[in-house]
């Protein structure tokens, strides 16, 4: 993903960072977990 951002972004130094998810709405976190697990199994 980083390579794509660097190739397509107009900035010389685009903001590319990763942050841990430390909290969030329970229903959203459950949905995110389900979506990511589905994609990993595909």
Output the pLDDT for position 34: 95
Determine the average pLDDT of the residues in 19-41.
93
pTM of the model: 0.54
Determine the average pLDDT of the residues in 15-23.
96
Range of the domain at 20: 2-41
Q: How far apart are CA 16 and CA 9, in angstroms?
A: 11
Split into its structural domains, the chain has a count of: 1
pLDDT for residue 26 is more than 80: yes
pLDDT for residue 42 is more than 70: no
Question: 23: Cβ–Cβ under 8 A, 6 or more apart, which residues?
Answer: none
Distances in Å between the Cα of 5 and the Cα atoms of 18, 21, 38 are: 14, 22, 25
């Amino acid at each position: 993903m980083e390579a794509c951002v660097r190739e397509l972004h107009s900035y010389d130094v685009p903001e590319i960072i990763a942050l841990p998810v430390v909290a969030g709405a329970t229903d959203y976190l459950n949905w995110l977990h389900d979506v990511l697990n589905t994609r990993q199994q595909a």
